[in-house]
A and B are shown apart, each in its own frame.
Chain A
């Protein structure tokens, strides 16, 4: 077993199991339906938080589940994008669509730089390097002027989308965030099922073989890293507008750990897993908040249990039962 592969639920790789268009079609329709009606039952701000993290975890999953690379520094992209987006909206006075775009662009550039550095090493080293690089971003965010240090960037205006749609109302903003989430989610879905995604999985499963087939594996991995960073940035930039705040929490290494937890709980290398994981983890934080300091302990226990007993994650197990890749 080479050092850089990640065990992935068997069913997903199942020999005959082709991705069935109908299963996905039905599931996507269900997803859209749930997203549409959810704000009538639950607090919209909470739902928007879930959507942002679901997109963030899906972005990490593209790299971890399909590229076999564990990044322990994804908070850097998420948090840095949220700073840029908040700064763009508040100080430069950009409309929300441009603020989110500039945050995403910044995360993509940062992803290219970090990727170029980290991609030189694999496996555990890769994880440690991404972690250390992210910590560098944390210190920069803590000290530099424009991030507001401890205070973060506060009272970020939500603005008027495309100059016509004011986003101050939670419900309106919710549907905008839902659209962003679906766009990002479908993009990841497309990438995974494109020829590029096929090659990526081939590299994950056996890199020497992929090299011998003539693929420039480093370039594939780097491209995946950059895309993943960009989408993580999209999630972070959106979150800044939802909460009207960009803060150090989003660049701290515990955030990187949290998003790995979401992916692990939901199921690495499954399409819907990270989103499910995000729902589980964010709800846990929300409803266990009264337990205060017990939250990290519960998270730690979930981590340990998942690694020992439940490596496929929720969707991974479902996928095995239904014998369908999900």
Chain B
């Protein structure tokens, strides 16, 4: 058995793969944040709460309507996305001319409300949500036992991230979006409904978070606090990546998942802090982030 730095390479491969799985969640979440930030210029603090809502909606669909995992994967992001559209129209739209910091404060308040309501309704012990039977079990890769469901998580989030990237960078709709990011007034002058575009973008970003939530439901317990701690790590991911590019946020998400996975092997005690330490280093060297444009 070959070894690297005293760790059997088999264990190392296993951990790399697991890191990639965690990275999938970071990538999908930071992608959603980046898209929302690009057009609305606000940091969506409620993103973690919306990720949690995704998981809860999937659980409710199963519990109250008997709708299984695969339909939930489609329906939950739509449902949560619609709540996002409502939030944008009713609340965020009123802040269009205010300082961006107010957007952060407003969504922070929303996060408190949403999490509080779910905590009141369902407690915090967590609710069970089973792995879909099609993806139960796993296969032995020689160096580790890989549950099928985890493989699916990586596959699904990679596909989703790349599809989103393609839409934004390579289609006409994406072109409008990018143009509106640069100069909304001019795009409006060309007859494109920018407020609608903004609303739908927020709804889409939120739907991405909900999608990640449904993916997470069978692995982590469905719990009102599941997004609260996640979101701060994702903020650090976003600071590291710089939010300059869509691709940047995806790459940073996956990469940091892997870094975190490696830390769990070499120095597990630091695995919760490593991302923040990397953030400090990046700030010292490249204040605008790895993929960011200078402010």
Contact = CB atoms under 8 A, between A and B. Distances in A.
Contacts of A37: none
Contacts of A293: 116, 119-120
Interface residues of B, number: 44
B104 A121 contact: no
A217 interface: no
B276 A297 contact: no
B232 A253 contact: yes
B116 A129 contact: no
Given A3-B100, A132-B235, A307 B277 contact: no
A132 B108 contact: no
Looking at A6, A72, A307, the one whose CB has the most chain B CB atoms below 10 A away is A307
Contacts of B43: 124, 127-128
Nearest to A291: B120
A93 interface: no
A169 to B, nearest CB: 37
Contacts of B105: 260, 264, 303, 306-307
B111 to A, nearest CB: 7
A294 B104 CA distance: 22
B100 to A, nearest CB: 6
Contact of A296 (B37, B99, B112, B279): B112
A155 interface: no
Contacts of B110: 300, 304
Given A121-B283, A293-B116, A70 B109 contact: no
Nearest to B277: A136
Contact of A128 (B117, B238, B295): B238
Interface residues of A, number: 44
A124 B99 CA distance: 10
Nearest to A8: B99
Given A128-B43, A297-B120, A136 B287 contact: no
For the complex, would chain A's binding face be called helix, strand, loop or mixed by DSSP majority? helix
A304 B91 contact: yes
Interface string A113-156: 00001101111110111011101100110010000000000000
B280 A307 contact: no
Interface string A294-326: 101101111110111001000000000000000
A95 interface: no
Nearest to A3: B100
A24 B295 CA distance: 40
A7 interface: yes
Interface string A88-126: 000000000000000000000000000001101111110
Contacts of B201: none
A156 to B, nearest CB: 27
Looking at B113, B238, B269, B288, the one whose CB has the most chain A CB atoms below 10 A away is B113
A311 B97 CA distance: 13
Nearest to B273: A139
B95 to A, nearest CB: 7
A70 B101 contact: yes
B99 A307 contact: no
5 contacts: A120-B287, A264-B105, A294-B120, A296-B113, A307-B105
Interface of B: 37, 41-43, 91, 94-95, 98-102, 104-106, 108-117, 119-120, 232, 235-236, 238-239, 269, 272-273, 276-277, 279-280, 283-284, 287-288, 295
Closest 7 CB pairs of A and B: A303-B109, A300-B112, A297-B116, A300-B113, A120-B287, A136-B276, A304-B109
Given A124-B41, A293-B119, A300-B111, 17 more contacts: A72-B104, A122-B295, A123-B101, A128-B239, A132-B279, A135-B276, A136-B273, A260-B105, A293-B116, A293-B120, A296-B115, A296-B116, A297-B116, A300-B109, A300-B112, A301-B113, A308-B106
